[in-house]
Amino acid sequence: MNNAVIAGARLFDGERFLEDHALVIEGGRIKAIVPEAEVSGRGDVTRLDGGILAPGFIDVQVNGGGGRLLNNDPSPETFLVIARAHRLYGTTALLPTLITDTREVTRAAISAAVEAAKMDEGVIGIHLEGPHLAPAKRGAHLAELMRPITDDDVEELCRAAEAMPVVHITVAAEQVTPEQVATLSRAGVIVSLGHTDCSCEDALRLFNAGVRGITHLFNAMSALSHRAPGLVGAALDAGQIWGGIIADGHHVDAVALRVALRAKRGPGRLFHVTDAMSLVGSEAESFELNGRKVRREPGEVCSKLVLDDGTLAGSDLDMASGVRFGVQRLELSVEESLRMACAYPASYLGIEKERGFLRPGSRADCVHLTDDLRVQRVWMAGREG
């Protein structure tokens, strides 16, 4: 049984700060949030020296970490290595992400995700970013492996959604039909648009069919202009759509992100993702991606990861750094930047009853941060580590 009482920090419950309150954990779940005075005499209190106690972060898009890249070794062990690497930065739940690859690698990654999700070590499913993307917006993906989604693909994805908590896919409007999106959505697959040059009208048709989000706003998608709003405009104006942002100082200018954050119509929200590669939690300076070398270049918030031709290839970002960037450069309140790392991704994925908030009945996944948002300690289901 994972029982504990944690006190001594400002408690952020996923929505607001609670002063002078303690977290009571029983059986790995939150039993109660009570005034600290009610637990002052207990012998099982873990007393923190100030700072913030917040829900553990949730990363919807993470390609690697700890020296491992999912595409290079789609095994259960790789899923767990990635999860352990990002736990150091406050992430307690994540979707390891496979970018465009062959059918064989994709199937291996799905099978490995099923096994890794059973181990309850932070892996909650998988994000397939491809291969159903548009070559015109390929980014660092291999265009020759991109293809339309088939009915067989849809069936495989629907089966996968029955076998693990979360299956999230990024598709291009050019490679999928509204009927296929509707089938996937009904089966519980979370469908996101990305790596697409679609029109605003095409995006709206797919939103109405069941698309729930967009992948890394602004990057590898049709831009917002005054007569052609593109996917960016469609996503910001559609209230039901959620979207990830990569707040690393490289992928999107801070001015553009500030404008987008002010413009986004709710209830859908923008939330932090890392798009992290294998170098997070590693001392290496480069790695291989589909046979191509990706190297680190210096950056203010984190390093910049580029191919030899200068194309961005994922990020070197961790979630805590993204939260700090939100406060320091995007002019967000601490509460809002924290929500973008826990509450909003949980709501997007439909797991808000389990994760993303500190409230009675939810998992005791939490992170202790300094007042300047640096990770001190992490708990998963009440266990520290």
Segment 286-326, tens digit of pLDDT: 998 888 999 999 888 889 999 999 899 889 999 999 999 99
Kindly report each contact of residues 17-26 with a partner whose C-beta sits within 8 Å and lies 24 or more positions away, as own/partner: 17/335, 23/53, 23/358, 23/364, 23/366, 25/364, 25/379, 25/382, 26/1
The question of whether 153 is a catalytic residue gets the answer no
Quick: pLDDT tens for 7-33.
999 999 999 999 999 999 999 999 999
pLDDT over 70 at 1, yes or no: no
Determine the pLDDT at residue 182. Answer: 98
Domain locations in the chain? 4-54+360-384, 57-349
Cα 194-195-201 angle, rounded to 5 deg: 65
How far, in Å, CA of 230 to CA of 4, rounded? 50
pLDDT over 90 at 267, yes or no: yes
CATH architecture of residue range(s) 4-54+360-384: Roll (2.30)
Quick: pLDDT tens for 87-136.
999 999 999 999 999 999 999 999 999 999 999 999 999 999 999 999 99
* Average pLDDT of every residue of the chain: 96
Sort 321 into a burial class: Cβ within 10 Å, 0-12 / 13-18 / 19+: buried
pLDDT over 60 at 362, yes or no: yes
At the top level of CATH, the class of 57-349 is alpha beta
**pTM summary value:** 0.97
- The residue annotated as part of the active site, out of 59, 153, 275, 318, is 275
Quick: pLDDT tens for 212-261.
999 999 999 999 999 999 999 999 999 999 999 999 999 999 999 999 99
